[in-house]
C-alpha cells in the first residue's frame, strides 16, 4: 500500500507586488534622470555665462590695449601688470600741475577704453602721482614739497579722466611724493623716470589700503 504524500504548494509573490516594485524602480530612475538632466542644464548655463564674461573681459582688455598701442610704441607710456605708467614730462612741465596739450590729449584718448574696462567690474582706478627726490623750486613756490606736487598732479589727471567720461565714483587720486622710485635719483635720466603718473585698476575692497608695489625700472619716466 502506497502512502500518498501531500506536497505543499510553492509560495509565490503576488503579481501585483511585483508590478508595484517595478513602478517604484521606474519612478526612481525617472527622478534620477530628471536630476541629472537638471544638473547638466545648470552646468551648461554656468559655462555659457562664464564664456560670455570671458569674451566681454577679453574685449575690454583688447580695447584698452588698442588704445595704448600707439603711445606704447612711441614710448610715452608703459603697461606693466595692468599698471599704466605715463611720463611726467609728457603730462606736466617741471614743477607744474597743469596738463600740457600732448598730455591732455593722451588722457582723453585713454578715458573711453578705461571706462569700458571698468564696466561690470568691481574695481576702481587709482591715479598715483610720483616725483623725484629734488626739492620743489620755481618762481611761484606754489607747492610746499613733493608730496603736495604729486598730489596736485594726481588730482589733475583724475579730474581730466572724469571730464573725459570716466565715472567719478570709479576713480580716485593718491600721492606718493618721492617715495616708490623706479630708478636711482643720482642723475637726470633716473630722476626723469621717477617723475611720473600711474593709472592702475584695483578692487574696491582694497581701495583704502592700496599702495603701489615695487616697480620695474623700465617704467615710463
Q: Would you say residue 34 lies in a domain?
A: no
Q: How many domains does the chain have?
A: 1
Q: Would you say residue 126 lies in a domain?
A: yes
Positions of the chain with pLDDT lower than 50, given as ranges: 211-221
Residue 128 has a pLDDT of: 96
pLDDT tens for residues 151-181? 999 999 999 999 999 999 999 999 999 999 9
Q: Would you say residue 19 lies in a domain?
A: no
Grid coordinates standing for 5? 504524500
Q: 118, 54, 120, 109: which is closest to 86 by C-alpha?
A: 109
Q: Would you say residue 195 lies in a domain?
A: yes
Residue 138 has a pLDDT of: 59
Q: Would you say residue 18 lies in a domain?
A: no
- Domain residues for 187? 59-206
Grid coordinates standing for 142? 606754489
Q: 41, 119, 79: which is closest to 220 by C-alpha?
A: 79
CATH number of residue 187's parent domain: 3.30.1330.60
Q: Would you say residue 12 lies in a domain?
A: no
Q: 219, 220, 201: which is closest to 210 by C-alpha?
A: 201
Residue 215 has a pLDDT of: 41
Sheet order of strands, 77-80 included: 77-80, 83-87, 196-203, 123-130, 171-175
Residue 8 has a pLDDT of: 56
As a whole number of angstroms, the distance between CA 162 and CA 169 comes to 9
Q: Would you say residue 91 lies in a domain?
A: yes
Q: Would you say residue 81 lies in a domain?
A: yes
Within 10 A of 106 (CB to CB), how many other CB atoms are there? 24
Residue 218 has a pLDDT of: 38
**Going by C-beta distance under 8 Å and a sequence separation of 6 or more, which residues neighbour residue 93?**
100
Amino acid at each position: 500500500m502506497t502512502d500518498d504524500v501531500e506536497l505543499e504548494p510553492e509560495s509565490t509573490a503576488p503579481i501585483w507586488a511585483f508590478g508595484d516594485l517595478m513602478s517604484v524602480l521606474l519612478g526612481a530612475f525617472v527622478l534620477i534622470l530628471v536630476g541629472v538632466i537638471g544638473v547638466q542644464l545648470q552646468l551648461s548655463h554656468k559655462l555659457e555665462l562664464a564664456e560670455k564674461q570671458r569674451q566681454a573681459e577679453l574685449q575690454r582688455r583688447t580695447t584698452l590695449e588698442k588704445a595704448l598701442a600707439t603711445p606704447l610704441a612711441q614710448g610715452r607710456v608703459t603697461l606693466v601688470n595692468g599698471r599704466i605708467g605715463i611720463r611726467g614730462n609728457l603730462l606736466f612741465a617741471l614743477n607744474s600741475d597743469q596738463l600740457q596739450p600732448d598730455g591732455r590729449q593722451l588722457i582723453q584718448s585713454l578715458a573711453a577704453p578705461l571706462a569700458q574696462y571698468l564696466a561690470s567690474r568691481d574695481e576702481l582706478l587709482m591715479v598715483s602721482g610720483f616725483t623725484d627726490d629734488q626739492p620743489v623750486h620755481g618762481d611761484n613756490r606754489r607747492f610746499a614739497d613733493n608730496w603736495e606736487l604729486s598730489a596736485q598732479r594726481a588730482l589733475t589727471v583724475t579730474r581730466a579722466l572724469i571730464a573725459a567720461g570716466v565715472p567719478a565714483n570709479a576713480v580716485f587720486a593718491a600721492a606718493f611724493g618721492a617715495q616708490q622710485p623706479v630708478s636711482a635719483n643720482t642723475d637726470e635720466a633716473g630722476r626723469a623716470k621717477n617723475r611720473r603718473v600711474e593709472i592702475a585698476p584695483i578692487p574696491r575692497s582694497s581701495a583704502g589700503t592700496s599702495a603701489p608695489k615695487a616697480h620695474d625700472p623700465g617704467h615710463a619716466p
